[in-house]
A and B are shown apart, each in its own frame.
Chain A
Amino acid sequence: MMGVTEASLRVNALSYAYGNKAALSDINFSVNAGECTILLGPNGAGKSTLFSLITHLFDTRDGDIFINGFDIKRQSCQALSQLGVVFQQSTLDMDLSVLQNLYYHASLHGMRRGQASLRIQEELERQGMFARKDEKVSSLNGGHRRRVEIARALLHKPSLLLLDEPTVGLDVTSRQGIVQHVHDLCSNGQLSVLWATHLIDEVYPSDQVIVLHQGKIQAQGGVESVCQAQGVESISQAFQQLTQVHNV
């Protein structure tokens, strides 16, 4: 059951391997309600594997994942209903319009037509995309597709939003817009965010940070505390230090 103090996401002693090669080793962390947690890691650190496990695309063999107290393995439907996801690769249907994509998602979450229409309008307006609702997704640029994906991920009012490198391939303006928007969503305390990235400038001083490297958590905590622990002034330096030391 969901408790008052239950974290939005809790990962306990999670390990995963592809054959003999370990991808994740003994991962432990929590994302609390209203927190924006940035999962920092270079390419190949294990971020996408972690996301596949949290979204139940892969099954957890060692360790546990709880979303709002629901075990992803045993209560996967309840757990997944709490989750909004934006994957690194676009998962929109290019042949369909923006509206059709969103109605499809709403139906998968059991939303009635009227309720879905209302939420679609709210979220598309928030993303500044309502005027383009009838356009085919394939005619949108990368930044606009991302906005539609974020609108879609929030349609069913999830309590936890997962973003797997959502700004890859976008121009600077689109990137800044998305980073700002996601941080704004967290600020009212209703939504928690786990944001995987390797781009340091997406981290805000108020964020929680997890540095993942070679499948292991190298550091975690507030931006300031991670910097202090490494004896450096910026998160960029801390990230470099934490990921280079282990490359030697």
Chain B
Amino acid sequence: MTFRHAIIALKGIVKRELWRFLRQRERFVAALVRPLVWLFVFAAGFRSTLGIAIIPPYQTYILYEVYIAAGLIGMIQLFNGMQSSLSMVYDREMGSMKTLLISPLPRWFLLSSKLLAGTFVSILQVYVFLLIAWFYDIQAPWLGYLSLFPALILSGLMLGALGMLLSSFIKQLENFAGVMNFVIFPMFFMSTALYPLWKIKESSLLLFSLASYNPFSQAVEFVRFALYGQLNVYAFVYTLLAFVVFMLLAVWGYNPSKGMMVKKTTGPR
């Protein structure tokens, strides 16, 4: 693999993902409607019941909508990561995954490129969401919108790698509903996306522990701080480590001799 070949292929994979995303307009709308409903309906409804104390990175009392914005950014990336993995299962069933896997590039590179492509799509969604949120008076410092970008890359990669890992274990598209019930919802609700850790601790120590160790919580905190131009080192390292672990397992899962690709082909053809 030459550097030039790698760059051309990476551009091609990212472009394909964007083409697909733009062609599937309903996917784009759905990806935006979900967090906006949470913001306009759920957050507005809970505004009076959930008071948020002054906690970093916020320097003053904030409305619940402001708190939940970072969680909803995480939600966009979480769903996009799962959507990408769903499309990988679909591509595998429909055969178009083969086009990628038989190209003359190392498999780790192909999977990483696909992951990066999915992450860019999620970042596009996040910025459109933030633009709408801006008009709803959820405004971060200008610098925050810039410092958010690298944070979104890492959090998007981590959640995408998790999706990719799951897709290597899922045999059929029908099994994907299980992922919704057993991965997405628990990850989202047992996190700091909707409520801060200290609030969870007041209710249940077990939930507090689960939420603390949930990589999605750390990705949300990493994003929350980045949106205000700050670096949460613990959340950054945790998200980075989670990405490395998920990615290594996903590459293993897609290895033709070692991973789940072998276990999937247990029946004769």
Q: CA–CA, A50 to B227, complex, Å?
A: 52
Whether A18 pairs with B9 at a CB distance below 8 angstroms is no
Contacting A at CB under 8 A, from B197-251, are: none
Whether B8 pairs with A96 at a CB distance below 8 angstroms is no
Asked whether any CB of chain A lies closer than 8 Å to the CB of B104, the reply is yes
Whether A46 pairs with B104 at a CB distance below 8 angstroms is no
Binds B, one of A30-38, A79-87, A219-227: A79-87
Q: Which residue of A lies closest to B2 (CB)?
A: A110
By a CB distance below 8 angstroms, the chain A residues around B269 are 18, 23, 44, 46, 48-49
Whether B106 pairs with A77 at a CB distance below 8 angstroms is yes
Binds A, one of B68-76, B93-101, B183-191: B93-101
Indicate with 1 or 0, residue by residue over B1-31, a CB within 8 angstroms of chain A CB atoms.
1101100110111011001100110000000
Whether B12 pairs with A77 at a CB distance below 8 angstroms is no
Whether A108 pairs with B19 at a CB distance below 8 angstroms is no
Asked whether any CB of chain A lies closer than 8 Å to the CB of B181, the reply is no
Whether B99 pairs with A110 at a CB distance below 8 angstroms is no
Contacting B at CB under 8 A, from A136-195, are: none
Of A23, A46, A55, A92, which one neighbours B102 at CB under 8 angstroms?
A55
By a CB distance below 8 angstroms, the chain A residues around B267 are 18
Which of under 10, 10 to 19, 20 to 34, or 35 or more describes the interface residues of B?
Answer: 35 or more
Contacting A at CB under 8 A, from B251-269, are: 255-257, 261-262, 265-269
Binds B, one of A99-107, A117-125, A230-238: A99-107
Asked whether any CB of chain A lies closer than 8 Å to the CB of B138, the reply is no
- Min CB distance A244 to B, Å, is 20
Main secondary structure of the interface of B (DSSP, over half): helix
Asked whether any CB of chain B lies closer than 8 Å to the CB of A89, the reply is yes
Of B24, B95, B255, which one neighbours A95 at CB under 8 angstroms?
B24
Q: Which residue of A lies closest to B110 (CB)?
A: A108
By a CB distance below 8 angstroms, the chain A residues around B102 are 55-57, 80, 83, 85
Asked whether any CB of chain A lies closer than 8 Å to the CB of B60, the reply is no
Whether A104 pairs with B12 at a CB distance below 8 angstroms is yes
Of B2, B19, B94, which one neighbours A96 at CB under 8 angstroms?
B19
By a CB distance below 8 angstroms, the chain A residues around B1 are 77
Q: CA–CA, A3 to B226, complex, Å?
A: 57
By a CB distance below 8 angstroms, the chain A residues around B5 are 110
Asked whether any CB of chain A lies closer than 8 Å to the CB of B37, the reply is no
List 29 A-B pairs, Cβ < 8 Å: A23-B268, A23-B269, A44-B268, A48-B269, A49-B269, A56-B101, A57-B98, A57-B261, A58-B256, A59-B256, A59-B262, A77-B105, A77-B106, A87-B98, A89-B95, A90-B94, A90-B95, A91-B98, A96-B20, A100-B19, A103-B12, A103-B15, A107-B8, A107-B12, A107-B15, A108-B104, A108-B105, A109-B104, A110-B8
